[in-house]
Every structure is written in structure tokens, then in C-alpha cells.
Structure 1
Amino acid sequence: MTLSEQAQDRLADIVELQPTKNADLQERWDMDSGSEVHSYLESELKAYYYRNEDSLICATPEAEAVVAGEDPDFTERTVDVGDLEAAALDVLPGPDDDPQSVVATLHALREAGLDPEVDEVRSALHGLVDKGAVERIRTTVPTFRLALDRENLVVS
């Protein structure tokens, strides 16, 4: 996706200010409302941001790579994750393997000695997708697998 100069500048603002709010970007971008910020994000930068568990705006790893002038398909990625997300990374199939469903991930986590609820697993997987560590494969039932090789994923 090729970004305009303005979109690149605004993406750099997100990287610099993250985690941030619509109001902060509204002020920085001299917009009239938070709704205008949201509309811009959705129309121009949708692939480059996500909202964290506190609904704050964060840059994706790809956004950070674009801003740094790097190849967004870099081979190593550091992700800050919680305990359940870390455990999910341990049981998910690799990037070249067949993906698994939320329920299959739930069972794998339970076999590993954890007892999360299915909604917690679903939330963890979606959070890992937002962070660029996991790939969501759209089939009849959404399935998941690692987005890159395990040795190229640094968990903090």
C-alpha cells in the first residue's frame, strides 16, 4: 500500500505518540473532531494501526517499519504480550503449517495446563493479530497461525 506524503507524516505521528487518543491526533493534525480523526484513520491508515485493550491508538509493527524506512516484512519482530498471549504463541502452528481454530487453540492451551475461557482465547488471538505476531486466515471458521517463524519472534 502506497501512502501519500501526508499519510506518511501522520503515520509517523502515531508511532511517536503511541499509545494515543483521537483528541491528541485531532490537535496534532488540526482537525475539527475526534470523529474526523477516526474517519481518516479508517480510510487512510487502517492497515497501520490498532486499538489496544484501553482503546488507545497504537501503530502496527508494519507501521513502525514504514516510518523507520525499513522493509515491513522484516524477519524479526518483538511483541509485548500477556501470559495468555505468550502461551498461545507456544501452541499455535508455524507460518507454513495449517492454521488452527480458536477452539483448537483452547484445547491446546488446556493440554498445556491452562484453563482459559474461549472468549479469552479469542481475544488473545485477535490481540496477537493486531500486534503482527499471528496471521488470521479467513475460512468458514477463522483460523490462526504464527505470522513468522518462531525463532524470529521475540516475546517480551
Structure 2
Amino acid sequence: MAHTAVPCERALALRVDAARIPSVHRERLRSLRAVCITGKRLPESPLEKELKRRRKAEDEVEKQKKVMEAMAAAHIKELEAMAAARIKELEARNAYLEELEAKVARIESASPGGGTGAGAGTSAGAGAGPGGAGNAAQAAAEVQQGGEGEE
């Protein structure tokens, strides 16, 4: 009990006016006096219980805040990954469409203006008309096959 004797003696010697001491310190001083006099700690005062409860509640709030921040960060990463996957998918689709457009342009440029297509056109003469009915049918078939027609 030697470690508490010096503060107790000092506290008792000061005899400071209790009205000028904040309530938290007053409770602590009361507790120190009781330890000095009886050698035993007093049971927790209502003020100490309230302070302990508040500290515990604040710690719990901080803990929940950290958990929620971690969950939010994980959700953001998940959304970023989904967005990146969608961007890659759209880029692949765009590349495929550009490839199809290039094939259609190549087919259209390969056919002469009057065209001698083998397809059965509805106009007079086989394949008569701009681009030829046969070449148009070939381009449509190639697009339907997914670009596997001419290579």
C-alpha cells in the first residue's frame, strides 16, 4: 500500500474546496481517501459506472465504424471489378463489330457495280442491280455465320 500512501497524504493535506473540483476528480479523490483510510477500494460510484458505460459505447461505435468502412471498401472494389469486366466485354464486342464492318466493306468493294451474282433476284435478269443480289446474299450469310464465311 506504499504506492497509494503518497497521493493519499497529498490529497488529504491539500483539503481543497470540493466545490472547485470537477465531479470526476471529486469521485477519484473520494476513492483515494477511502483507500488511504480503510485500505479497501470503494464500490464503483454511479458516476464511474456512467463514465465506463460511455467509454464502452464509444469504443463500440468506433469498432462498428471501422467494420462499416471495411465493408464499404470491399464493396467498392467489387463494383470496380464488375465495371472493369463490363468494359472488357464491351471492348471485345466493339472489336467484333469493327471486324464485321471490315468484312462487309471488303465484300462490297470486291463486287463490281453491275454485279454478276448467282442469287435469284426479283428484278429482270440474274443478279441485276447495284452490288448484285448474289454478293448481298453472300454478305448476309457471312454475317449470320459470325464472320466465318470467307476466311
Greater fraction of residues in helix: 2
When normalised by structure 2's length, the TM-score is 0.25
Greater fraction of residues in strand: 1
Structure showing greater relative contact order (alpha-carbon pairs closer than 8 Å, 6 or more residues apart): 1
Q: Which has the larger radius of gyration?
A: 2
